[in-house]
A and B are shown apart, each in its own frame.
Chain A
Amino acid sequence: MKSAVKFEKKNLLASGHRACGGCAQALACRMVLDAAGENTIACVATGCLEVFSGPYPDPSWRIPFLHSLFENSAAVASGVETAYRALKKAPVNVLAMGGDGSTADIGFQCISGMFERGHNVLYVCYDNEAYMNTGVQRSSFTPFGAKTTTTPGGNRLQKKDLPQLAVVHGVPYVATATVDDYRDLQQKVKTALAIKGPKYLHIFAPCPLGWGHAGEMSIAISRLAKETCLFPVYEITDGKLSKVLKIPLKKPVEDYLKVQARYKHLFKKGVPTTEVALIQEIANQNIERFNL
């Protein structure tokens, strides 16, 4: 179904930032900002995004942005939003942004508080499945089987389901998106910003350096994550599944795993180990749960 939404390209995240070639987070952030427009304030957590876009004296942000710590972008955004109400200023889009750690781990307390209090903030999470900025250490978003520097033998734990946690907090709009479908991603940003209250957008962001693939493969890998059903794309509105991207031609998880060095240890001379079957199980569960 073709979206009627025009692709917005204002470059509110200006070029010349210092992201790695092929960084999906950089791409996603620009898409998000361009969809949100100039009347937006971004509260950014410490992480790759802040470090590559925010160095003094030449940050890449063409909208106001506020960075303080790794763990508190949701609380900081709550403060900005509260002040705008207290001062009775004209409404503005308030975004909180972060990666794995600042969303699901060290920052989880603050995001829970923001959701629970019902602040009018859109939280955008860029999920690259590890702590990339500090050198690829595991996070609670690291999927089962993935190699990181603190899980050198492959991660044994399951990926934390933050969209579900947002739903449980009563967040009125929760969505997942990928960078290979910019129209869908930007539509979700606009839909979210039209709703009052806390919103959560979880964007899948391949990291060439951390995942071990060429920079130009980021879009393809994003697509493969969807096609293998490892990253379901959906919207949950007022607690109910309102939209799902169905995958008629499902691919086996091997197609996705084989092209990333972080999963290389799962194949002995090209033959998949038993872990691969467990990862396929995860995909199968997604298929059932979301009727992909």
Chain B
Amino acid sequence: MALTANDDVSKGLRPGPNKNELSITANVTRKENAIMIEIRIHGRGGQGNVRAAELLAIAAFKDGKFAQAFPAFGAERMGAPVQAFVRIDDKKIRLREQIGKPDYLIIQDEMLMETVPVLDGLKSDGAILVNSNRTPEELRLNTKARVDTIPATEIAMEIIGRPIPNAIMIGAFCAISGLVSLEAAQAAIMEIFPGRIGENNVAALERANEIIQKRKNHVETD
């Protein structure tokens, strides 16, 4: 099969009957108005930021979407500011640039906001989720985007016993964005974390999800 200038090797190979047989270098049928969503996660090394990105990507994958997750890199170090990126789309993701204009921000460490310009590039119709005991109003963030908070570290300590907020942040994110299903997030956690740890993280995920759902219902009934 000789290649000519007319060949567009991104053109489809047919998807198989089972989604798992999808030949993935193909540009799968583009959904009308399919838009890629970009999520940027900020935290400190040791808080499971990269893991959070991976879990979101696995969950999106399980939901039948295409996902790409990657970290912005520094040396291996605890406590240093870390960024991780996630892209979710209904078609294959080819873009490799770091996320400069996120639709969503997930801030795993509240204190970071004082020293790192986490809000940079956030779309005005975007949304931020901050790991914090304070309410969005108390945070007083200089942004037009929607702000949500959740005391993720507290919940983590209570349910998991370690101050790693990622499962909680993901649980809240599922409820806030609707981008990724709770079931897929649960499955992603169980796939990556063995036994007890997985179960605890799933419980934390569910608690966070509940909290946000309750808030939403509360607001709707007002």
Direct contact of A and B (CB under 8 A): yes
Q: Return A160 CB to nearest CB of chain B, in Å.
A: 23
Query: Bound complex: CA of A115 vs CA of B76, how far in Å?
Result: 32
A213 at the interface (CB under 8 A from B): no
Q: Return B185 CB to nearest CB of chain A, in Å.
A: 27
Interface string of B71-85 (1 = CB under 8 A from A): 000011111100000
Of all chain A residues, the one with the shortest Cβ separation from B80 is A18
User: Do the beta carbons of B79 and A51 come within 8 Å of each other?
Assistant: no
User: Do the beta carbons of A135 and B78 come within 8 Å of each other?
Assistant: no
Q: How many contacting A-B pairs (Cβ < 8 A)?
A: 23
B76 interface neighbour in A133, A208, A215, Cβ under 8 Å: A133
Query: Bound complex: CA of A207 vs CA of B76, how far in Å?
Result: 12
User: Do the beta carbons of A21 and B75 come within 8 Å of each other?
Assistant: no
Query: Bound complex: CA of A55 vs CA of B5, how far in Å?
Result: 47
Query: What is the total number of residues of chain A having a CB less than 8 Å from a CB of chain B?
Result: 14
User: Do the beta carbons of B78 and A134 come within 8 Å of each other?
Assistant: no
Q: Which residues of B contact A21 (CB under 8 A)?
A: 78-79
Query: Bound complex: CA of A68 vs CA of B87, how far in Å?
Result: 38
User: Do the beta carbons of A133 and B75 come within 8 Å of each other?
Assistant: yes
Of all chain A residues, the one with the shortest Cβ separation from B46 is A209
Q: Return B18 CB to nearest CB of chain A, in Å.
A: 33
Of all chain A residues, the one with the shortest Cβ separation from B74 is A18
Size band of the interface chain B makes with A: under 10
Of all chain B residues, the one with the shortest Cβ separation from A132 is B76
User: Do the beta carbons of A20 and B78 come within 8 Å of each other?
Assistant: yes
Q: Which residues of B contact A52 (CB under 8 A)?
A: 75, 77
Q: Which residues of B contact A51 (CB under 8 A)?
A: 75
User: Do the beta carbons of B75 and A208 come within 8 Å of each other?
Assistant: no
User: Do the beta carbons of B79 and A20 come within 8 Å of each other?
Assistant: yes
User: Do the beta carbons of A134 and B76 come within 8 Å of each other?
Assistant: yes
Q: Which residues of A contact B79 (CB under 8 A)?
A: 20-21
User: Do the beta carbons of B77 and A18 come within 8 Å of each other?
Assistant: yes
Query: Bound complex: CA of A52 vs CA of B79, how far in Å?
Result: 12
Query: Bound complex: CA of A183 vs CA of B79, how far in Å?
Result: 30
Q: Return B86 CB to nearest CB of chain A, in Å.
A: 22
Q: Which residues of A contact B77 (CB under 8 A)?
A: 18-20, 52, 209
User: Do the beta carbons of B80 and A208 come within 8 Å of each other?
Assistant: no
Q: Which residues of A contact B80 (CB under 8 A)?
A: 18
Query: Bound complex: CA of A41 vs CA of B19, how far in Å?
Result: 62
Query: Bound complex: CA of A133 vs CA of B80, how far in Å?
Result: 14
Query: Bound complex: CA of A51 vs CA of B76, how far in Å?
Result: 10
16 contacts between A and B (CB under 8 A): A18-B77, A18-B80, A20-B77, A20-B79, A21-B78, A21-B79, A48-B75, A51-B75, A52-B75, A132-B76, A133-B75, A135-B76, A208-B78, A209-B77, A209-B78, A215-B78
Additional 8 contacts, C-beta under 8 A, given A19-B77, A215-B78: A18-B77, A20-B77, A52-B75, A52-B77, A133-B75, A134-B76, A209-B77, A209-B78
Those 8 A-B pairs whose CB atoms lie nearest each other, nearest first? A20-B78, A51-B75, A135-B76, A209-B78, A20-B77, A21-B79, A18-B77, A18-B80
